[in-house]
């Protein structure tokens, strides 16, 4: 059920924001390449446009969903009611000052790592292979190969319907794949990271090595949302799934990757419901086999 007149919301948004799209296919904005339409999508270019989107959505009582590049999202076939605020594409950039860098939330992590290396700053090479943006990475304390972005965050800049705010590192409550923002209706507009001085060439070499490792072990040839499940304490999700005999198992066009069981991929023609059903079946079988309940890392959004 639609909550209101979409055209009225889009008209109000268009009066304050340049890039507003009606009934936008989410399949074009997520790495799974599936999903129904968003009622309205806003692609802001400035903090001011973000604030306008928040205020206007609130004034109409429209639900507001925030996304980066859609690399960790699974959108249902019925799509998303309300306004989707896409903080990527037009809202990115960074400014270096000594060993610190101020980064807009839509900045791709790969671009951040490359640019940092060119300034002889490193420590965050592990982020280079994560196909997301700064905002999502800070919200979920993204990490890989033993590193997490939370350890480098000094300040996080936010907006909500009540205005702008800033949280320091100690206020962020970083944990494994989470922060205080995981449960709060706050939008990350940017952050300040303190990096480590490094040799630029060594940093670039390290980045290349990690990306090579990723290409070798992960099913990058198929659409996916990266690691489907969080790592359960004391275990590895991929190993548990493989032990349950699910490597290569599929439902419709969705499949547990034959290359890495921790990934569910779209082999072609998968529906969001195929993927959701496969996630549920993997959880059921792993719980039955290992007494471990896997928690999805992918975020499922949209009308059911």
Which residues are identified as catalytic?
A: 177, 227, 297
As beta bridge partners, residue 259 has none
Q: How many other C-beta atoms can be found within 10 angstroms of the C-beta atom of residue 11?
A: 12
Neighbours of 10 (CB within 10 A): 21
Task: Mark residue 296 as left, alpha or beta (left: phi above 0; alpha: psi -120 to 50; beta: remaining).
Answer: beta
**Distance (Å, rounded) from C-alpha 279 to C-alpha 118?**
40
What backbone torsions phi and psi does residue 133 show, to the nearest 5 degrees?
-120, 170
Find out whether 226 and 130 touch, Cβ atoms under 8 Å. Answer: yes
25-to-38, 206, 302 alpha-carbon distances in Å:
6, 37, 12
Task: Read off φ and ψ for residue 114, nearest 5 degrees.
Answer: -65, -45
């Amino acid at each position: 059920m639609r909550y209101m007149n979409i055209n009225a919301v889009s008209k109000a948004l268009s009066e304050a924001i340049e890039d507003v799209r009606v009934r936008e296919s989410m399949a074009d904005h997520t790495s799974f390449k599936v999903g129904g339409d968003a009622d309205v999508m806003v692609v802001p270019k400035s903090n001011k446009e973000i604030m306008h989107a928040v205020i206007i959505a609130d004034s109409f009582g429209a639900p507001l969903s925030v996304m980066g590049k859609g690399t960790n999202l699974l959108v249902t076939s019925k799509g998303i009611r309300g306004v989707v605020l896409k903080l990527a594409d037009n809202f990115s950039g960074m400014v270096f000052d000594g060993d610190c860098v101020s980064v807009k939330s839509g900045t791709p992590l790969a671009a951040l790592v490359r640019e940092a290396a060119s300034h002889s700053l490193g420590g965050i090479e592990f982020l280079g292979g994560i196909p997301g943006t700064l905002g999502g990475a800070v919200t979920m304390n993204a990490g890989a190969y033993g590193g997490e972005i939370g350890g480098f965050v000094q300040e996080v800049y936010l907006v909500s319907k009540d205005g702008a705010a800033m949280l320091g590192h100690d206020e962020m409550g970083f944990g494994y794949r989470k922060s205080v923002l995981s449960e709060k209706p706050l939008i990350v507009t940017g952050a300040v990271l303190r990096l480590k001085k490094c040799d630029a060439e060594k940093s670039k070499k390290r980045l290349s090595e990690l990306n090579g490792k990723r290409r070798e072990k992960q099913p990058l040839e198929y659409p996916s949302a990266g690691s489907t499940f969080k790592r359960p304490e004391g275990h590895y999700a991929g190993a548990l799934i493989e032990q349950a005999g699910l490597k290569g198992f599929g439902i419709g066009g969705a499949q547990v990757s034959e290359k890495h069981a921790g990934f569910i991929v779209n082999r072609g023609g998968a529906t969001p419901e195929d993927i959701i059903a496969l996630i549920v079946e993997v959880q059921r079988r792993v719980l039955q086999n290992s007494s471990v309940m896997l928690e999805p890392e992918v975020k499922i959004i949209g009308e059911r």
